[in-house]
Chain A
Amino acid sequence: MNLTNLAALAAELLLMPLLAFSIGLFLVLLMRRIGARLQRRVGPPFFQPLADIVKFYAKETQISHGLIHDIGIVMAVGGYVAAEALLPMPGMNGLADKGDVLTLIYFLMIPSLGLALGVGQCANPNGSIGISRALTAMVAYDIPFVIVIFGVAWHYGTTNLVDMIAMQQAAGWGLWDMPLLAVAGLLSLQGMLGKQPFEIYVAPAEIATGPMVEMGGKYMGGLFVMQAFQLYTAGALYATLFLGGGDGHWPTFLLQVFVVMAIPMSIAFQFPRYRTEQMISWFWRWPVALGLAGIALVMHF
């Protein structure tokens, strides 16, 4: 690895989280706009998501429960920042060669763990209940999700995201080859994002019983940053797995990310909330069945 490569890599590593964050902000905006439209409201202005974050960070935080609380939020944000370097963007592969999709999935668990630590340290049972539900939800949606990952990886014969994109560019989108897995993936995404009807663990409407109960100021800001990253990561990962990662073109990629994200957001606002156990049984039933059927299709045809 020569110096130019190294410099290029450094630039990519800087750029990728930044771009991801920016796109994530748009996605947040999109989400809020869609919600507003569906509820016949106008919705927030363009810079509102960024403004929210800046405001949260700028405020003096009144309540902090100690070092672990801080570390938790650092891990939550940092995990996503790191994860972005493993998720290729058009023209930028980052470190996707050094850690494959499995590593990426694990990286995506680190923010949850960080958040869980931070919330746990808050010593508020309501927060802990939220974490308990969040982790339960993870058990629910991760199983179909890894089924999808398995099918995809088997289909492409690789776990390397860069290779996957290359293969889709050569042979067409994975969506056409693996429609069932694509659907299952989308459904899992719904849970992963914590959108309705699977938003009980976030419980945005009744903050007192969610993980965020003791989060204020820059802690809340951190969570907002995390949300932006989360939306981007979900969309981009899905696009990479099934839609050829924009076939290497930024406009397509962006469009794909936005479309992919628009689907769960549009669905989200149509539904009431599932209870935890309802959520688990739903995830373990339909997306799992779809995913297994998809794998059967992929592996036998």
Chain B
Amino acid sequence: MNAVVLAVALPLLGAFLTPSLARLSLPLGRLFGPGLLAFCLWLLWGIARALGDATAGVALGGFAPPLGIAFHLDRLALLFALAVPAMVLALWPWGGRPREWSLTLVLAAAATGLALSGDLFNLYVFYELLAVASYGLIAANQRPAAQAAALRYLLLSAAGSALALLGIALVYTQTGTLNLAQLALLAPVSLDGPLGLAAFALLLLGIGVKAEAFPVNTWVPEVYATAPSRLAGLLAGLVSKLAVLVIVRLLLVVFQRPEATQLMLVLGVLGIAWGELAAWRARDLSRQLAWSSVGQLGIVFVAFSLPGETGVLAGLAVALHHLLVKPALFLLARHWNGALEGLRGAARRAPLAGALFALFALSLVGVPPLPGFWAKFVTLSGLFAQPGPLCSLAAVVILTATLVEAAYLFRTLTLLFGPGGEEPRMAPHGALDLGTATAFAGLLLAGVIWLQPLTGDLHGIARQAVDMDTYVDTDLPTPRP
């Protein structure tokens, strides 16, 4: 179990060594990172298999949890921890420079850490690590626009981080501990007042920058439109989900308050409306996808704001679906990056890419029996099960937004499949991009076929995630009163 820390440490080791290794031998440097990630994947898989339904706490350095940093291993954490190396491998920047590889490795390590950590400040450190790695990667393609976008993103994100730090400071001052399990014990007493909510609001907004939460998501279109498409896929698919995961962890473990979920719900609804509306008028594919991603993250927020197991189940379903679909769409969009108008007939020249795009778009809209439908259905059903007009309003907003989303996605699709566009201006899709997208599509379809076991698993994960007693018992074997 303790070896799980390797999943964080090894990519970092790889990141430190890759530039030097690449100086010695470029092929070695090229393969070093993916090799490490593959090893991490194998390692985590083994741990997940060994752990099964149980949970485990890992005290780093052997310091008993409230004092030292603890990793909390449960199915939710391992699911995302497994997703990290897998996604990073799938979206590995093969064509980049050594420093890009090493930054990508840093990103992977940070993301894994975010998924596993059970310590408030440690989460903050990994979050910052993730952020810094992504700033560098965004700007890596040397386009001035990308660098300007990265700078703007950095300013916003860093401001958010400072607010999050403020929130952590508030929590620490009030409780004197950073361990999530211990915070869970203390929260009903110490964080009961406005202070706890304020801390949550600050953390939500701070971490929400990466999670594309509503008012702090202005960076999304700029960055996704200028960043390399593999990175955009990684940011939209993986990084945003991990930020959401952190928020959800905090929500579940520490800040279990109706006001907190309400705040998330409101931000989510606004995000949906804003994102989908903006995407309706997008003029190029990558920004359309970026805005759509904002809207989808809004749905994720709304889903996670549902109380209890339903919320985690719905949120997981939506988040995992988006995790799978959006990167693939970004990969496909990479070669269709011009104005939408210029894409006329593009899919006819690249039928496989067109078909994949159609499949992902259908799933994104939520056409049964594709997984997107089930995710949306669970969310809607959960929303309607809640009393109060706000939840019903959220459901209506989701339905309307889905309509808008379908409208623009299919406007794009009809352009892609429509006639016209004589000159083959666009380069064909690379085999790598297409292969990756096909693999994602395969996963999506597998999700349809094995829907039943999949939902069973998700149910199990959700049940475990909301089980606070187990959480506390795992991380604090002898909790102090």
**Are any A and B Cβ atoms less than 8 Å apart in their complex?**
no
List residues of A whose CB falls within 8 A of some B CB: none
List residues of B whose CB falls within 8 A of some A CB: none
